[in-house]
A and B are shown apart, each in its own frame.
Chain A
């Protein structure tokens, strides 16, 4: 019986060390692809926020309107470009993520940092430039809009700060 336990122990510890080794090997190129991890995250974050905006505020809550008569021509162009860019970014970043894994260069923390930064920047652009300057549409209609605008842009700022912290933390060389 003791012999069997020894063999089992041997097999398990060998497997564990092999897995750990492979895991380290799997991420061995991540510092080399540092910038690419960040950009992959930024694109994905941008796409995710645009998706949440469309699904939650346009389709489910019906707060945002498809078109608002006060929209400027620049607003229409900006909306079209960012709408299309958001699904380009989502699909493109998914393939970039697959590419990072293929190259053994994925870095989860840095990728997450990119997501927060991309999400926050787009949220802020949407909240200040598109909603306010280009008057594309408001967050909600027939209510006092100020608290909505404040929450919207403060959330954007928090996302940006979290993103920057994560990106700074993962910025050192040869990690």
Chain B
């Protein structure tokens, strides 16, 4: 990437704004929705509000400001950005239950229409754990093992599109496994656990693959450190995902204990 420093060093402010403004809007909209709905309904969880604020901040610092510029020509910064933008921000935002908040804020009629839209087969399709994993981890494999990574840094439009994809795929991936918002047609815990295991393994394998075979124009020492950040930093966020999935599973089996009292 060093060879392209000349024309990528100044990541245009307009592109930074294009990526950052949506998060600013969702951040403000969420807080407004909390204030509005608190008037009629019970107090909205502070924990969720804080998750939303930090999730949006994580996303924003990776698309605007010094980290965003550094990410453009330093692979280690790029990887930290990837963890924040593609993994941590989506997780925090999923934990904030934005759909639940939206449904309780808007008038009943509109909420009905919205929940009808959410049952659309398209959402069901992308939220399938296998599809979500392919979109997320499969996309990363495509990005880091083909010339796409190099092309992305020379094409601003592609850069923006890929970043939008990374965030959305991260969010869809999170809600495919962890159900916080209302989820029509839920998948079984055993199925979700198995697919999550394979998807996270593919992420770990990719980290070591990057260590062994750096993407084009990435200096070896940057690729090695970046790969280790992806491997261990990824673990930290993945452990939270696995914990939440198993915690929900543990809670959901509580009912069956009373029903299947075993004879002693």
Closest-CB distance, A29 to chain B (whole angstroms): 6
* Nearest-Cβ distance from residue A145 to partner chain B, whole angstroms: 22
Chain A 71-88 near chain B by CB (<8 Å), digits 1 or 0: 100001101110111011
What residues of chain A have their CB less than 8 Å away from a CB belonging to chain B? 28-29, 32, 66-67, 69, 71, 76-77, 79-81, 83-85, 87-88, 91-92, 95, 98-99, 102-103
Cα distance A84–B228 in the bound complex, in angstroms: 15
Q: Do B246 and A80 touch (CB < 8 A)?
A: no
Contact present for B211 and A99 (CB under 8 Å): no
CB pair A79–B235 under 8 Å, yes or no, is no
Task: Tell me, rounded to whole Å, the shortest Cβ–Cβ distance linking B174 to chain A.
Answer: 16
What CA separation (Å) do A169 and B228 show in the bound complex?
44
Asked if residues B201 and A99 are in contact (CB atoms below 8 Å), the reply is no
Q: Are A84 and B197 in contact (CB under 8 A)?
A: yes
B192-208 residues with Cβ-Cβ distance < 8 A to A are 193, 197, 200-205, 208
> Which of the residues A28, A71, A81, A99 comes within 8 Å of B250, measured between beta carbons?
A99
- Distance from A36 Cβ to chain B, minimum over Cβ atoms (Å): 12
Give the shortest distance, in Å, between B100 (CB) and chain A (any CB): 25
Residue contacts A-B, CB under 8 angstroms, 29 given: A32-B262, A66-B208, A66-B231, A67-B208, A67-B211, A69-B212, A71-B212, A76-B205, A76-B208, A76-B209, A77-B205, A79-B204, A83-B204, A84-B197, A84-B204, A84-B238, A85-B197, A85-B201, A87-B235, A88-B193, A88-B242, A91-B239, A91-B242, A91-B246, A92-B246, A95-B246, A98-B250, A99-B250, A102-B254
A80 CB contact (under 8 Å) in B204, B247, B257: B204
B202 touches A80 (CB 8 A): yes
A102 touches B262 (CB 8 A): no
What distance in Å separates the Cβ of A50 from its nearest Cβ neighbour in chain B?
12
Decide: B264 and A28 in contact? CB cutoff 8 A.
Answer: yes
Known: A28-B264, A67-B211, A99-B250. Contact between A81 and B243, CB under 8 A? no
B242 to chain A: which residues have CB within 8 Å?
Answer: 87-88, 91-92
CB of A54, distance to nearest CB on chain B (Å):
9
Mark out the residues of chain B between 228 and 264 whose CB falls within 8 Å of any chain A CB in the assembled complex: 228, 231, 235, 238-239, 242-243, 246-247, 249-250, 253-254, 257, 262, 264
Query: For residue A98, which residues in chain B have a CB less than 8 angstroms away from its CB?
Result: 250
A103 to B260, CA, bound (A): 11
Interface string of B162-204 (1 = CB under 8 A from A): 0000000000000000000000000000000100010011111
Bound CA span A88–B240, Å: 11
B66, chain A: closest CB distance, angstroms: 29
**CB <8 Å contact, A99 and B209:** no
Complex formed: what's the CA distance from A99 to B247 in Å?
11
Q: A67-B212, A91-B246 are in contact. Are A102 and B257 (CB under 8 A)?
A: yes
